[in-house]
Structure 1
């Protein structure tokens, strides 16, 4: 009996040593260095204050109706819901790879009956617990797979954050589109009313023989053009509402739709961009690309570990007997434990090819990461370029509106006094109408640009400015931190 316990003790000691050595090695290589090659001369080079992306969307946007619409969208949008479900799926996949680092214990039972021509029949019963092919992770293969799953999960979570930021920007701009479609409709209806008055006046002058039929037909052309614009803007209002309903995921209540032209979209008086490092920290799409790059590095470690022997441990303990009634009696206890090894000899270069594939995947991920940085800087600089000149454009357009309105009023007075022909009035009407439309377009572009700048800087992830955003370190960052200690 002492011998049995001695053997058992040595086996347990060997197993404990193997477990202690598990995952102590890693075949992961050095992490690549990203070179985004961002131009030194650009709009996003300095800061006069913290980035507006640090503000929560409830503090950035000014209209309480829009804030209610945004809350509805965050609760019901299907793309955001799918992104959240993808996070749950990636989380469960990470849990599976984490569980693979632990032995799987299962219960088993069997009945075996053997019979030959030269002996009596014999029945054996067996029941017990066992560990089946538990891999001793000497080279860090299982650990690398776990790191890859963790990075994939974090990348999926960051992708969901990017979806939320994009959704908030899209909803705000769709809400503005609805507002300005209404404003254009009202302008078109006012223009149609004025054109009808001119048409009726010209028709009376023609009926009494003062003018020819030409001014009548010219006025009719303006009337039908205005009617066409009215119908067009009614279509745009319906389409803007349909888009808003799609983004929100349900019909938007009428009381939350802007009936009047929006004159202010944000509560912020200064739209600061912050430092370039703020952009890298606030943009979840850049963070997602970084996680994917880290996951690719973990795959290289798993592929390299396949070059070395795979050692697995199998064991079981239970009871066995040729009689069911004696199965659990003294002397029926049996146990076994033993390792197995898978040593690659000739695989015709398959495992080395898998390493090359993993290294290529890492280079692809690095290129995607660098491009995501470049794209983010380009988007922000484009928004800042519009921001830099939009004020001058608006001021010039307002002066143009004043000038064309004055011209139209004077031309109409001269026509009624019989000094000028109706053609002068017609030209002035068209110029005034076009200038008013251009002003509405610029005002909408101005507010869309404010939303776009907030979105491209990474704003919209927080509801309130004081909320904290946690960014978990990638497996590459954890490896670098451990190496530095």
Structure 2
């Protein structure tokens, strides 16, 4: 029986296995395909608004310079990828996890140290065996220790550290993709405020002119004070809107500067207006199962699950003996000059086996905790898949409706412009009151604001859908995807080398 146990332990050591349970990827808790029918079948084709075509390429194969046509935005994105502090922290967290993996992995190998010591003791003369009260001892040699990982405890801890490192590498990748999306969304928001300010300024100029005419009519006795006060109210409302939008525009630029990580340079290229942002509108969604390899947040959740699975192996190994070999070899002498003389050699060998007998339930509790943590990570992994499915589905639903909504708002805005013209003519000819002009002017302003808002929402939806489908990691189509732990700086030449995969 003992011989069989020893052979089994030797086989485990030779195979380099652990007591971790065999990993099986949980089934994706979502439908096998994204929703279809209704608005989901109204997806725009290629070439919308002068944009190019994805030509059937999935989002991860489309570089962000190919997705965004605005040269100014491209320059801002490149600056953000170099300077954003959140991304920098994410990279540093990844590097810390890599160092922790290397620390844990070092436990698989023997530790060898050079040791030199001097030991001087004083014993009362009446107790000294040699009759010498002061005795010196000098030694020089090598000391070694090694825990033989028969049951894979250290190997499981190493696998856990490796999975945690890979999870943080994927988290960093997700952070970079999210940064591309966040910068683009903020840039588009700033352009939308520019358009809103233009509309408000035009409305203010028109209102001021109407107020001037109404005031002149009132002063000459051909107009009423009611018309005068109504015209004055429109001017002040436009003034208030102008100040509010100016504030929001400035704050939007401040938010963009924070994302970029430095003030916007003065030499940025000329940008495109909001309505000329030709984003790709026909990126295919693929299948929900594609998200498992396209989405770094899902990959990070799975690596966290793998880490929890490996931790079970370490918790199981704690029930088995631990074998530690320690030894030393060198020279020993009562005098410094006699260290390397013949006959001064000394060595020691002290193997130790530790078998847990009573730990007060500690090992059992650790194993229970490890198993609970794995179930938690399974739920987190499944939730990450469900969130990704929902985000893509919402993006597809929005992409199928915005074009028709904007077309309807464009027609609505045109009708309000014509209504304002007719109301002004009727007022000037004495057919209608000035209130109809003011109402038409307010409705036109609101319609223009709604149109700007819808255009912004359409563009940010396309940007977010590009991110939700895994796009934004490569700079140009055709580039070789960088490893998840690559430097964030696109100009960096040195590429980080990931640790070797666990056997």
Match in the other structure for 2:216: 204
Match in the other structure for 1:74: 81
Residues 19 and 27 of structure 1: CA distance in aligned 2, closer, same or farther (over 3 Å): closer
Distance 2:450 2:17 in 1: 66
The structure 1 residue matched to 2:350, chosen from 330, 335, 338, is: 338
Matches within 5 A, 1:434-445: 434-445=446-457
CA apart distance, 1:467: 2.3
CA apart distance, 1:336: 2.1
1:30 aligns with 2:25: no
The structure 1 residue matched to 2:245, chosen from 205, 225, 233, is: 233
Distance 2:266 2:242 in 1: 21
Residues 205 and 243 of structure 1: CA distance in aligned 2, closer, same or farther (over 3 Å): same
1:96 aligns with 2:103: yes
TM-score by length of 2: 0.86
Match in the other structure for 1:127: 140
SS at 1:210's partner residue? Answer: coil
Matches within 5 A, 1:236-275: 236-256=248-268, 261-275=273-287
1:50–1:274 Cα contact (<8 Å) kept: no
Match in the other structure for 2:48: none
Distance 2:271 2:199 in 1: 14
Residues 266 and 293 of structure 1: CA distance in aligned 2, closer, same or farther (over 3 Å): farther
Distance 2:267 2:427 in 1: 45
CA apart distance, 1:266: 4.2
Distance 2:57 2:432 in 1: 59
Distance 2:176 2:310 in 1: 28
Distance 1:135 1:346 in 2: 22
1:62–1:264 Cα contact (<8 Å) kept: no
Match in the other structure for 1:189: 201
Distance 1:272 1:179 in 2: 27
Distance 2:376 2:471 in 1: 28
Match in the other structure for 2:35: 43
1:73–1:249 Cα contact (<8 Å) kept: yes
CA apart distance, 1:68: 0.5
Matches within 5 A, 1:149-188: 149-188=161-200
1:354 aligns with 2:366: yes
Match in the other structure for 1:63: 70
Match in the other structure for 1:111: 118
1:49–1:274 Cα contact (<8 Å) kept: no
1:423 aligns with 2:435: yes
SS at 1:95's partner residue? Answer: helix
**Alpha-carbon displacement from aligned partner over 1:412-457 (angstroms, at most 9, x marks no partner):** 1221222222111111111111111111111111111111111111
The more displaced of 252-261 and 349-358 is 252-261
The structure 2 residue matched to 1:317, chosen from 329, 334, 341, is: 329
CA apart distance, 1:49: 2.9
Distance 2:169 2:276 in 1: 33
Unaligned runs of 5+ in 2: 1-5, 44-54, 485-500
**Alpha-carbon displacement from aligned partner over 1:394-419 (angstroms, at most 9, x marks no partner):** 11101101111011111112212222
CA apart distance, 1:194: 0.4
Residues 130 and 19 of structure 1: CA distance in aligned 2, closer, same or farther (over 3 Å): farther
Match in the other structure for 2:50: none
Residues 257 and 282 of structure 1: CA distance in aligned 2, closer, same or farther (over 3 Å): same
Distance 1:172 1:243 in 2: 12
RMSD: 2.4
1:319–1:328 Cα contact (<8 Å) kept: yes
Distance 2:13 2:331 in 1: 31
**Alpha-carbon displacement from aligned partner over 1:141-169 (angstroms, at most 9, x marks no partner):** 00011101111110111110111011111
Unaligned runs of 5+ in 1: 1-13, 473-477
CA apart distance, 1:100: 1.1
TM-score by length of 1: 0.90
2:57–2:283 Cα contact (<8 Å) kept: no
The structure 2 residue matched to 1:365, chosen from 340, 364, 377, is: 377
SS at 2:274's partner residue? Answer: coil
2:211–2:235 Cα contact (<8 Å) kept: yes
CA apart distance, 1:269: 4.8
CA apart distance, 1:274: 2.3
2:73–2:271 Cα contact (<8 Å) kept: no
2:140–2:331 Cα contact (<8 Å) kept: yes
The more displaced of 50-59 and 437-446 is 50-59
Match in the other structure for 1:469: 481
SS at 1:263's partner residue? Answer: helix
Distance 2:239 2:271 in 1: 21
